[in-house]
A = this chain, B = another copy of it.
Amino acid sequence: MLLAAKDISRETEIVMVKELIAKIQKTNAPIVVGLDPMLSYVPSQVKEKAFAEFGETLEGAAEAIWQFNKSIVDAVYDLIPAVKPQIAMYEQFGIPGLIAFKRTVDYCKEKGLIVIGDVKRGDIGSTSEAYAVGHLGKVAVGSRSYYPFDEDFITVNPYLGSDGVNPFIKVCKEENKGLFILVKTSNPSSGEFQDKVVDTKPLYELVGEKVAEWGADCTDGEYSNIGAVVGATYPEMGKVLRKLMPKNFILVPGYGAQGGKAADLVHYFNADGLGAIVNSSRGIIAAYKQEAYGKFGEANFADASRQAVIDMREDIAGALAGK
């Protein structure tokens, strides 16, 4: 069974973080577009078409968010290295929603994008391994095996400790894929537990040190396949964590809608200009609803998203140039 599973393994030895770096350098954009579609973001013409075909059903909602995603991806894929679909936004529509998630993952990969599944999974032992296999690896069924969701990276919650994280790392090694482990999240109450001082340092630093340790043998050269999530809303903490995890990429949520500013983001990058990738979700995919992009109109929502990506790229490049 294992042999057969190996038969369909990918032959190429890609170190995922190297591919991410190559795409960041090619696009000059350390940017991730968060594909977190709420139905309220989807323009009425897209919703109406989906509901006309499938009714006001879970299938109709899934079709609406898939068509919305597809239009945005078509409009921005040449500008960015990666996307980050947030699975909760799909899971809320049940099975049809999860089918739309899978279609989105597949489509983005077809377009040459790196896909970071924002799944924040985390459990123990064989259960974490099941998640890892489901999202990053392949699962054996009799003499055959399959890649069920097949994202390139996923986000992982570290609360359960090494037992919870190691099965994900094992699958990353087998498949040359990667993780972003939650260290310091962008939300206002993230400090409730993450900032508590243990011994002489806050918990998030302890978790950051663990990320550096967990990722130490997943490094090919400069960077590790195992990264961290650190919110843009806590730049001083970002600065400390950047130094604690010099070889780990930081996925930075919280830019834009959540209040993180480009000037704050410079702390998340290393001197080589790498080491961070900044996510924007609502600010890109619902750009057409903002005053700044109102001129595009609802019908041209994808063009508004494209302009928002260009503006974000300039905003970040400007801040990095002034570093």
Q: Tell me the A residues contacting B by CB distance below 8 Å.
A: 36, 38-39, 47, 51, 56-58, 60-61, 86, 88-89, 91-95, 97-99, 102, 120-128, 130-131, 133-135, 139-144, 146, 148-149, 157-164, 182, 185-194, 196-199, 203, 206-207, 210
A-B contact pairs, 5 of them (CB 8 A): A39-B140, A39-B141, A91-B134, A160-B187, A162-B189
Q: Which residues from B are CB-within-8-Å of A123?
A: 86, 88, 120
What residues on B are CB-neighbors of A196 within 8 Å? 196, 198-199, 203, 206
Bound CA–CA A161/B195 (angstroms): 11
User: What separation, in Å, do the CA atoms of A126 and B189 have in the docked complex?
Assistant: 14
Q: Of B158, B160, B161, B203, which is within 8 A of A198 by CB?
A: B203
By a CB distance below 8 angstroms, the chain B residues around A188 are: 163
Q: Is the CB of B193 within 8 A of A92?
A: no
Rounded to whole angstroms, the CA-CA distance of A187 and B141 in the bound complex is 28
B161, A192: Cβ atoms closer than 8 Å: yes
Distance to closest chain B CB from A37 (angstroms): 10
Q: Kindly state the separation between the CA atoms of A56 and B38 in the bound complex, as whole angstroms.
A: 36
A92 CB contact (under 8 Å) in B139, B160, B190: B139
Residue in B closest to A48 when the chains form the complex, CB atoms: B142
Q: Are A134 and B88 in contact (CB under 8 A)?
A: yes
Which of B146, B158, B186, B189 touches A94 (beta carbons < 8 Å)?
A: B146
- Cross-chain contact B203 with A193 (CB below 8 angstroms): yes
**How close is A27's CB to chain B, nearest CB, in angstroms?**
26
Once the chains are docked, how many angstroms separate the CA of A94 from the CA of B191?
34
* Closest chain B residue to A125, Cβ basis: B187
**A51: which B residues are within 8 A, CB to CB?**
141-142
Complex Cα gap A100–B169 (Å): 27
In chain B, what residue has the closest Cβ to A128?
B88
Cα separation A94 to B141 with both chains bound (whole Å)? 12
A187 surroundings in chain B (CB, below 8 A): 124-125, 160-161, 163-164
Complex contacts, A47 vs chain B, CB 8 Å: 142
Central interface residue in A99, A194, A198, by most chain B CB within 10 Å: A198
Cβ contact within 8 Å between A93 and B58: no
**A162 & B192 in contact (Cβ 8 Å cutoff):** yes
Of B86, B92, B141, B161, the contact of A189 (CB 8 Å cutoff): B161
List of B residues within 8 angstroms of A126 by Cβ: 38
Of B130, B134, B189, B199, the residue contacting A163 (CB under 8 A) is B189
A162 to B190, CA, bound (A): 8
4 closest A-B pairs by CB = A94-B148, A161-B192, A56-B142, A161-B189
Complex Cα gap A80–B175 (Å): 41
Contact A93 B139, beta carbon cutoff 8 Å: yes
- Determine the residue in chain B with the shortest Cβ distance to A126: B38
Given contacts A161-B190, A193-B207, 8 further A-B contacts (CB under 8 A): A60-B142, A89-B130, A93-B134, A94-B134, A94-B148, A95-B95, A157-B157, A157-B159
